Structures are given as structure tokens and as C-alpha cells.
Amino acid sequence: MKFSITGLNHRSAPVEVRERLAFAPESVAAALDGLKRRTGLQEGVILSTCNRVEIALSSTPEADARLAVEEFLADHRAVSRDWLRPHLYHHDGRAAVRHLFRVASSLDSMVVGEPQILGQIKEAYALARDHGSAGGLLEGVFSRAFSVAKRVRSETSIGRSAVSVSYAAVELARQIFGSLRDRKIMLVGAGKMSEQAARHLRQSGAGRIFVVNRTRERAEEMSALFEATVVDYERFQDVLPEIDILIASSGAPHYILTHNDVRRLLGARRNRPVFFIDIAVPRNIEPSVNELDNIFLYDIDDLQKVVDSNRLGRLEEAREAEAIVEEEVDRMMARWSARDVAPIIVSLQEQLEGLRQSELDRVRSRLGPLTPQQEEAVEALTRGIIGKIAHGPLAELRRHAGEPNGFQAIDTIRRLFRLRE
């Protein structure tokens, strides 16, 4: 059986192509059925996310897996193969194993180290397994991919630092306050940055979240997403004395909080600390606010410096992760080689034993009657000769089964002894 991966991602295809080829969750089961009906394809897993569409296959040696997937995707989305082909990549064998391990470990993601992709792969594999489309070879390689991703997470710090402005804002808040569980947080502005910040806040166990936006309808949409409380824009300063963390990203052309506003706020809070994160452009909070005691103010440039530093750190961690992946690929290929070489070893032993028996039968009539002791001696002699002949080839087969490129030596031995494949 052959293992392969064919697909496209954010590097090989623009978003409009990825959108066109993406699989809705409810359509994957039927798609798997269609995939398995194609000649030579035994097992399949379909991974479809916003950044990639990939199909992992177990197929017979003679099957053209790349062509099969190309035709399948073209038929599935009613597009021409000429339009599709330039965006596709294809990996076989070792390259396919490496690709899967890298994707699972988030080394192939748009944001290196992001944790979502592993969960998406697990869901894709579980769906294929439950549908009867994954077992045997795919079970082994996907299970190993999950273990490799876990090892990368535990042995490197690749996913432990913020690499987006909104995530960096939440991480800074955690550094200042520790646990966010009992903290009250206000989001001023309900755009994409605020939505991302709210998502990170919820994942960090934040307490109560308030949403403020000039357009109340959008604020209510955000509040429904994150179980937040809507505050009217005109009265958000009245609520500020309750707030520990404020993330501002409104489109106001002027400061929504001035130095004097924050001075009064500190009085109402009896100088309890407040954390301001201003990710708006132009800025929402007057910079001189940072001169006040118990006020921590970070703007988007401050956060970008944190993000840039963390990205460099992730690149360093990624180098360590790549070494782990390569080591695990070697192990996987050695395991497969050992599995593949077992029939060759059996075939060689059977062939040599057959030769021994046929030669004994040929000369037995000339030897005349043999005593039991003589029969035993002849058997021992001929078995010993065969064992010495077989020792070298068998040792080489076993040794090369554990090497990444051992298939070349194994194939040489197979052809020398004219063994069946």
C-alpha cells in the first residue's frame, strides 16, 4: 500500500480557490464514499479548513493517487482540471509522512505554532474512521502524527507566545493581573480586532465582558457570540469604575478617554490599577494617561513589538520542532520498512529451504540407506550451510529496514535472489 497526500493551502492557492474547493462538514461523508469508489484507492481522510484542502490516501502500488485526487476534486466542485492543477501539490511516502507531521505540529500553518490545526486534523480523521474510510495504514500514520504534535508542544515553546496583536493584548493583561477569572473587561469597538480579543479573553477564562460600540446592533452581535453585556456608547464612562481591563479599538477620530477622564476614574476606583490596551488607529486614549500611577497603557506599536519579538522566538522554536519531525519521520519509515521487509525475509528463507530439500532428494538415492544418526548429520550439515549462506543477506535486510533509504539495498537483495515482490 502507498501513502500520499494531495491538496492545496494558503501558499499554493489564493482564498477564492480555497473557498471554491472547501468541503462543508455535512458533505464530507458523501465525499469520502465517492473517493473510495475510485480505482485503487483503499482509505481516505479529507481535511478542509479555511487555509487548506488536503486528501490523505492509502492506495494500491499501481494507482495514480495524484491523478485520482485531481479528478475527484474537479468533479466534486465542477471545475476544470487545467484550472485546478497549478494549485495542487502532491507528496508520496516519506514526503507525505513529513508533510502530515509538519501540518499536525503547526509548522505549515499561516501562523506557526497556532493550536487549532491539530484539533481540525483529529476531527477529520475521526470522521473518516467512523465512516469506515480510515484504518490500517492511515490509522498508524495519523496516530503517530498526533503523538509527534504532542511531542513538539511539550519539548518546545512554539505555541506559548502571542503572535497576533489581539492575543498579545490578552497575554499582557494576564501578566499584570494573573488570573482573569474575576476581572471585568470592556471592549470599546466591535470590529475584527475586538472580536479576536474577546475570543482570546474567553479562552483565558475571563470573567464578565462588556461591549461598547456606536452601532448597537453590532455590539449585540458581539455580545451574543461571547455572552457579553452591551453598554450604550454614550454612557460607557459611567461603567468604567467597575472595569479592570479596557481594550479600545473604535473608529473615533479623537480621544475617547483623556488624561482628565482617567484621573477622575482613578479617584472613583480608589487608585486600584487599570489596564488600557489601545489598538485603535488613530489612538482612542490620550498617551499622557500613562504618566498616571496605577495606569498601564499599551498602544498598537507596543503590542507589535511584543508580537515581532515572539515571532522571532517561534522561528527559533520551529527549528527545534523541525528536527523532532525529521527524527519521527525516520522512525515511521523504519517501522514501515520493517513491515515491508518481513515477507522478503520469509521468501528468502523458503527459497533456500526449498533448494536444500530438492538437492537432498536428488542425491539421496546415491547415498543409499542412512542410519538415523547419519540422517541427522546430513540435516545438520545442509541446514548449517544454508544458514551461513542466508546470514549475510538476512542481516542486511534487517539492518536496511531501519534506515530511511534502505529500500534501495532491500530491492537489490530481492532481485539478486529473484524473490517475489
Q: Which helix (H) or strand (E) holds 92?
A: strand 89-92
Q: Are residues 171 and 284 in the same domain?
A: yes
Contact 56, 50 (CB under 8 A): no
Q: Are residues 70 and 17 in the same domain?
A: yes
Q: Are residues 212 and 107 in the same domain?
A: no
The answer to whether residue 276 is domain-embedded is yes
Paired residues of 277 in beta bridges: 247, 298
Q: Are residues 225 and 297 in the same domain?
A: yes
Residue ending a domain, choose from 123, 139, 159:
159
| 139-143 long-range contacts, CB within 8 A, separation 24+ | 140/335, 141/3, 141/56, 141/97, 141/100, 141/332, 142/45, 142/56, 142/100
Domain of 174: which CATH number? 3.40.50.720
Q: How many CB atoms lie within 10 A of CB 378?
A: 15
* Grid coordinates belonging to 175: 501578566
The answer to whether residue 326 is domain-embedded is no
Q: Are residues 172 and 242 in the same domain?
A: yes
Domain of 33: which CATH number? 3.30.460.30
Q: Are residues 292 and 350 in the same domain?
A: no
What length does the chain have? 421
Q: Are residues 43 and 153 in the same domain?
A: yes
Cis status of the peptide bond prior to 282, with omega within 30 of 0: yes
The answer to whether residue 283 is domain-embedded is yes
Contact 278, 297 (CB under 8 A): yes
The answer to whether residue 323 is domain-embedded is no
Catalytic residues, by residue number, are 50
Q: Are residues 149 and 250 in the same domain?
A: no
- pLDDT for residue 161: 59
The answer to whether residue 311 is domain-embedded is no
Residue ending a domain, choose from 128, 159, 190:
159
| Mean pLDDT for back-to-back runs of 10 residues, the chain (421 residues) | 92 90 90 89 92 93 91 91 95 94 90 83 95 90 95 83 67 78 88 78 83 91 88 93 91 92 93 88 91 90 74 78 93 77 80 87 83 88 89 78 61 76 58
* Residue tagged 549475510 (cell numbers): 392
- pLDDT for residue 362: 85
* CB-neighbour burial class of residue 288 (10 A; exposed 0-12, middle 13-18, buried 19+): exposed
Residue ending a domain, choose from 121, 144, 159:
159
**CA 117 – CA 104 distance, rounded (Å):** 6
The answer to whether residue 183 is domain-embedded is yes
Residue burial 14-49, b: 16+ Cβ < 10 Å; e: rest:
eeebbeebebeeeebeebbeebbebeebbbbbbbbb
Q: How many domains does the chain have?
A: 3
- In one-letter notation, the amino acid at residue 296 is F
Q: Are residues 118 and 8 in the same domain?
A: yes
Q: Are residues 7 and 142 in the same domain?
A: yes
Per the structure, the complete domain to which residue 264 belongs is given by 165-306
Q: Are residues 105 and 174 in the same domain?
A: no
The answer to whether residue 193 is domain-embedded is yes
**CA 26 – CA 2 distance, rounded (Å):** 28
The answer to whether residue 421 is domain-embedded is no
Q: Are residues 173 and 264 in the same domain?
A: yes
- Alpha carbons within 13 A on the beta-carbon side of 117: 26
- pLDDT for residue 232: 93
* Grid coordinates belonging to 164: 497576533
